[in-house]
Amino acid sequence: MSTLVFSLKSKPTFTLDMSSITPSVLEGLTLAKIKKLKLVYGKETVTVDSLFNVKGKYNDSIVIENSCNKLICVGKGLSKGTITVNGDVGDLLGQSMTKGSIQVNGNAGSWIGNKMSGGRIDILGNAGDFIGAGLPGDAFGMNKGLINIHGNAGDRVGDRMRRGIIIISGSAGDFCGSRMHAGTIIARSKVGKYPGSGMRRGTIILDRKPAHIAATFKSCGILKMQFLRLFFTQLAAMDKEFETFNKLGPTAHRYSGDLARNGKGELLILKSKTK
């Protein structure tokens, strides 16, 4: 077997910090040493082999089987390689990652991509609140990279986001893109109340008009914005999964704001899906 596989023996009672299980940490270690690595489990520390069956060989690729939402900080500080999770994960997925990729074949918790500055995260299920956002006390949220959520996301997606791209194929909750400094959020289904509240810069692209847009956003009318055509073409070239973006046209109803923050951000509500 050319991949390291960590199979969870049973669902933990407490949260389990998985930040020690990354390719850069495991590089050069024998299987015996990997099994004896320490993990923070609730208020205690335990060895890897007390909770996981471990097999395979190191090659910058890690698979976590039978995962559940008690596993937190999966892929923290990831700087190379790939992590594939079969099952759900908890909070802080991909925190502070700089390179590499994470794929979760299930649902994920809140604060995905906190302090992320590169790489890619794919969630095939749903995600919690504060995706790509900063923790309390953080100046910014994610700084670079791509977060791609196939399902739904919770409230305050991209809160204080600095750079990067967040794509949500399902719906998003209230205050999507709140306090954004820059970056791009794309929501392919409905969003909750007051997207872009408090944003300074950045772009939020929506498939449909939200039920509530803050009064501090100014309508600029329906515009044909050629940069959207270029942006969608670039996305489509990144991955076959994004080829549907080629079907989206450049026409959008633009709202600028948040004027309460002297903001230069924008909400773009797409009006055409044909070129």
> What pTM was computed for the model?
0.94
Beta carbons of 146 and 165 less than 8 angstroms apart? yes
Whether residue 234 lies inside any domain: the answer is yes
Which pLDDT score, from 0 to 100, does residue 125 have?
A: 97
Which pLDDT score, from 0 to 100, does residue 275 have?
A: 38
> Which tokens belong to 173?
């909750």
pLDDT in tens, 213-239: 999 999 999 999 989 999 999 999 999
pLDDT at 66 > cutoff 50: yes
pLDDT in tens, 43-53: 999 999 999 99
Q: How many domains does the chain have?
A: 1
Whether residue 97 lies inside any domain: the answer is no
Which pLDDT score, from 0 to 100, does residue 274 have?
A: 39
Whether residue 24 lies inside any domain: the answer is no
C-alpha count within 13 angstroms, C-beta hemisphere, residue 58: 16
Whether residue 176 lies inside any domain: the answer is yes
Whether residue 10 lies inside any domain: the answer is no
pLDDT in tens, 188-211: 999 999 999 999 999 999 999 998
Which pLDDT score, from 0 to 100, does residue 81 have?
A: 95
Whether residue 147 lies inside any domain: the answer is yes
pLDDT at 1 > cutoff 60: no
Which pLDDT score, from 0 to 100, does residue 122 have?
A: 98
pLDDT at 90 > cutoff 50: yes
By residue range, what is the domain housing residue 223? 110-270
pLDDT at 18 > cutoff 90: yes
Whether residue 257 lies inside any domain: the answer is yes
Q: Alpha-carbon distance 255 to 144, whole Å?
A: 24
Quote the mean pLDDT of the chain.
94
Whether residue 73 lies inside any domain: the answer is no
Confidence of residue 272 (pLDDT cuts 50, 70, 90): low
pLDDT in tens, 103-125: 999 999 999 999 999 999 999 99
Q: What is the mean pLDDT of residues 132-156?
A: 96
